[in-house]
Each structure stands twice: as structure tokens, then as C-alpha cells.
Amino acid sequence: MADKKIVFLDIDGTFTVPLEKPTKLASRAVRKARKNGHRILISTGRNMPIVSEDVLEVGFDGVVASAGRHIEIDGKVIRDSVLPEETIKKCLEIFHRLGSIAA
């Protein structure tokens, strides 16, 4: 089992092109890695409602979403921590004040 790996894949720009469905090649690679005994998980800053079904349907061993605030392994939710409403309000205030900042 020492040669088996746990692989974490980001969605946008790693597993998929942002806002597009996963390619057949990427999907096949995930399935083959899992078939070979590796554990493949999605790791994303997205929250679960905006992780597309197209991505989840590929079949992963788990998902780390919301920058670690939501964790599912083998279909079981092991962490689901919602930000306090006050924190969300402060973040939204900053986002609205600063607007969109290009990298």
C-alpha cells in the first residue's frame, strides 16, 4: 500500500477549465487512478452548491470545499462549518467597497 497516493485536485484551472465541463481525458485519468488504488479528492475554495454535478459525477473519494470548511470522504460529511453571519457581512462589505480586483 506504500505506493498508493492521496491526490487533491483543485477544480478551476487544474481539473477543468473554469466554467467548463471536465474533459474526457481528465475524467478518465481520475477513474484510472482510483481503479489503481489511489484516493482522489477535489479540493476547492468553492462552496458545495457551486461545485458542478459534472465534476462530482466523475467520481471522487471525497471533497474538501469552502476552503476546508466542508469535508466529505466516501460520501460522508465529516465537517460542515458555516461562517458566522457577522463574518459574512464583513466580507461582503469589503467586496462591495473594493469591487472586482484583477490579478
- Tens of pLDDT along the chain (103 residues) come to 569 999 999 998 889 988 889 999 999 999 999 999 999 999 998 889 889 999 999 999 999 999 899 999 999 999 999 888 898 889 888 888 887 654 4
Give the type of residue at 51.
Answer: V
What b/e string do you get for 68-103 counting C-beta neighbours within 10 Å, with b at 16 or more?
Answer: eebbbeeeeeeeeeeeeeeeeeeeeeeeeeeeeeee
Give the model's pLDDT for residue 103.
Answer: 45
Give the model's pLDDT for residue 63.
Answer: 97
Domain chopping of the chain, boundaries:
6-98
The β-bridge partners of 64 are: 43, 71
With cell 469535508, the residue in question is 71
CATH class (in words) of the domain with range 6-98:
alpha beta
List alpha helices for the chain, DSSP H. 24-35, 53-56, 85-98
Give the model's pLDDT for residue 82.
Answer: 82
Cβ atoms within 10 Å of 7's Cβ, excluding its own = 14
Alpha carbons 61 and 59: distance in angstroms, whole number: 7
With cell 477535489, the residue in question is 42
Give the model's pLDDT for residue 39.
Answer: 98
Give the model's pLDDT for residue 38.
Answer: 97
